[in-house]
């Protein structure tokens, strides 16, 4: 007997052709898109207009239109920066770390998650640039010398490390994504009927013919990029956490920050992958590729990272008490009972308590439930940054410099706008690029066939391919 469908990474009866067709159809047959695509895209597009308005008004008036003040000099700008950049991390983890660990279940979700990474980093990048107040001189952040300032950036500041961390992250992620797309571009080029589509995908495929030499170099390049990306999963959010941990503000000056931020980033990222994957696989009938098992495993990763994050919250309270430091204790008390206490307890509920439901296998199979839990996690991770940033700042060392942080209309407009931008980019991606890695799915399918055939030679689960060792080298048959 073949394994039950829900236990396989590719469901249904497939062939090389059916994989090409089912994934390529979403891009090549523009009529295959459900009306919900247009509705969501239109709403997201409207929000992008809000973003444009908020940014233009900000450039005209300056950062005074935001809710930031003394003592809370960082508000929505940095909260949203950290939130977005965290969301991106699942993409890199899935595409690089799981590739190096030969976790084949990554193959159907990596493309999708990488796209999410890139768009999330784009959203994140807007915030620090705009919060400088003069984004047109943002190049001052880069060590371009000789320059007319006669100055280098302050290399002792983690804010400068952040510039390198995020720009490297963006570059490597974009490169990794594009390189991963090349064989699929070639497949789409070969399957396309329309001349313009052929030419566009042909240019993007950069002359890919699927020869053995191409594959050999390709696999090497892909592995090198995966090796480059892997440390980024840990380094980017560690450095983001240094922005806080290197300072002396109670609530920021914490040694646990780097691992706790990285776990939080992966946690938020998997929540976002689930948020996007659950509706997409239903709308585009891709349940054979993003299977029940995928969702189950992603929910487990989310639960595991969530536990690390929850452990971090508990340790923060413990450190506050154990330090015996007046300011640390005051900070913890202020979080739990101060003016922002409802936010703190919502954070504990969203990130600590609700995701415990994922221990129950039945919940992990109930997609509406996972979707809702993912929303809780997404909100919880946003609240975490809210608790860390303005709530630590609003109680300064001297009671005379205490204040409150209340976001302004423009803070909210810009935040909502970046959400719109993210959704718009994701929807454009789904429509115009293959959202599942076609060639890796074919490779995976072939392995699955071989394994099943070896186990159950007498039954025979579908057509058995007689193939060269280069497994995925199938496009060469389609190539021109």
Partner 1 sequence: MSQLFKPSMNTLARVSLSCALIVPGALVVGLSSITRSPYNTKVEVPLDQPVPFSHTHHADELGIDCRYCHSSVEKSGFAGIPPSHTCMSCHSQIWTNSPLLEPVRESYEKDIPLVWNRVNKVPDFVYFDHSIHIAKGVNCNVCHGPVQKMQMTWKGKPFFMSWCLDCHRDPGKYIRPKDEVFGLFRKYQESSKGANLTGSEYSLMATAHYKPSKEDQARGRKLVQEYGIKVETLSDCYICHR
Which residues of the shown chain bind partner 1 in the complex (CB under 8 A)?
144, 146-151, 189-190, 198-199, 202, 206-207, 480
Question: Which are the contacts of 148, defined by CB distance < 8 A and separation ≥ 6?
Answer: none
Residue 31 or 213 having the CB closest to partner 1 = 213
Sequence length of the chain is 480
Tokens of residue 338, six digits: 């101060």
What is the smallest separation between the CB atom of 196 and partner 1, expressed in angstroms? 11
Residue 206 or 360 having the CB closest to partner 1 = 206
Nearest to 463 by CA among 22, 11, 19, 13: 13
Residue 189 or 394 having the CB closest to partner 1 = 189
CA dist 366 → 289, 292, 353 (Å): 18, 10, 18
What is the smallest separation between the CB atom of 328 and partner 1, expressed in angstroms? 31
- Separation CA 82–CA 348 (nearest Å): 19
What is the smallest separation between the CB atom of 480 and partner 1, expressed in angstroms? 5
Tokens of residue 80, six digits: 């949203």
What is the smallest separation between the CB atom of 475 and partner 1, expressed in angstroms? 14
CB crowding 329-344: b at 16 or more within 10 Å, else e: ebbbebbeebebeebb
What is the smallest separation between the CB atom of 32 and partner 1, expressed in angstroms? 23
At residue 47, φ and ψ (nearest 5 deg) are: -65, -30
End-to-end CA distance of the chain: 39
Residue 59 or 203 having the CB closest to partner 1 = 203
Q: Could you tell me how far CA 192 lies from the centroid of its own chain? A: 30
Tokens of residue 4, six digits: 């039950």
What is the smallest separation between the CB atom of 203 and partner 1, expressed in angstroms? 8
Residue 85 or 192 having the CB closest to partner 1 = 192
Residue 89 or 189 having the CB closest to partner 1 = 189
Task: Match 């646990």 to its residue by tokens.
Answer: 256
H-state helical runs in 284-389: 292-323, 326-337, 341-347, 361-364, 367-388
What is the smallest separation between the CB atom of 146 and partner 1, expressed in angstroms? 8
Q: Could you tell me how far CA 87 lies from the centroid of its own chain? A: 4
Task: Match 């996007």 to its residue by tokens.
Answer: 276
What is the smallest separation between the CB atom of 182 and partner 1, expressed in angstroms? 14
């Amino acid at each position: 007997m073949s394994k039950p469908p829900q236990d396989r990474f590719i469901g249904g009866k497939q062939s090389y052709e059916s994989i090409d067709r089912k994934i390529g159809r979403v891009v090549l047959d523009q009529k295959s898109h459900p009306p919900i695509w247009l509705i969501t895209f239109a709403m997201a597009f409207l929000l992008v207009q809000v973003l444009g308005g908020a940014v233009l008004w900000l450039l005209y008036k300056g950062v005074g239109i935001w809710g930031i003040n003394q003592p809370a000099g960082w508000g929505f700008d940095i909260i949203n920066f950290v939130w977005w950049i965290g969301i991106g991390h699942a993409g890199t983890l899935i595409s690089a770390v799981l590739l190096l660990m030969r976790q084949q279940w990554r193959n159907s979700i990596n493309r999708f998650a990488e796209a999410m990474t890139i768009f999330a980093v784009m959203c994140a990048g807007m915030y620090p640039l705009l919060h400088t107040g003069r984004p047109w001189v943002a190049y001052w952040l880069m060590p371009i010398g000789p320059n007319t300032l006669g100055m280098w950036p302050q290399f002792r500041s983690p804010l400068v490390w952040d510039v390198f961390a995020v720009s490297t992250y963006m570059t490597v992620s974009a490169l990794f994504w594009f390189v991963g797309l090349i064989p699929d571009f070639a497949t789409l080029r070969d399957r396309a009927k329309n001349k313009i589509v052929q030419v566009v995908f042909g240019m993007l495929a950069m002359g890919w013919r699927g020869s053995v030499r191409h594959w050999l170099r390709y696999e090497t390049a892909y592995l090198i990029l995966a090796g480059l990306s892997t440390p980024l999963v840990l380094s980017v959010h560690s450095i983001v956490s240094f922005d806080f941990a290197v300072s002396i503000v109670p609530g920021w000056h914490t040694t646990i920050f780097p691992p706790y931020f990285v776990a939080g980033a992966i946690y938020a990222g998997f929540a976002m992958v689930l948020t996007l994957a659950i509706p997409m696989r239903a709308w585009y009938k891709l349940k054979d590729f993003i299977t029940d098992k995928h969702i189950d495993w992603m929910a487990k990763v989310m639960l595991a990272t969530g536990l690390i994050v929850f452990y971090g919250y508990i340790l923060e309270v413990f450190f506050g008490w154990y330090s015996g430091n007046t300011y640390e204790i005051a900070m913890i008390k202020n979080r739990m009972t101060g003016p922002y206490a409802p936010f703190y307890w919502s954070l504990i509920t969203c990130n600590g308590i609700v995701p415990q439901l994922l221990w129950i296998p039945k919940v992990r199979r109930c997609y509406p439930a996972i979707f809702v839990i993912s929303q809780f996690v997404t909100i919880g991770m946003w609240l975490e940054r809210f608790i860390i940033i303005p709530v630590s700042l609003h109680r300064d060392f001297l009671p005379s410099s205490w204040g409150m942080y209340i976001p302004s209309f423009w803070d909210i407009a810009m935040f909502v706008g970046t959400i719109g931008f993210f959704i718009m980019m994701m929807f454009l991606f789904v429509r115009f690029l293959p959202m599942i890695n076609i060639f890796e799915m074919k490779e995976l399918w072939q392995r699955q066939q071989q394994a099943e055939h070896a186990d159950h030679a007498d039954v025979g689960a579908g057509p058995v391919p007689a193939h060269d060792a280069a497994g995925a080298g199938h496009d060469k048959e389609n190539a021109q």
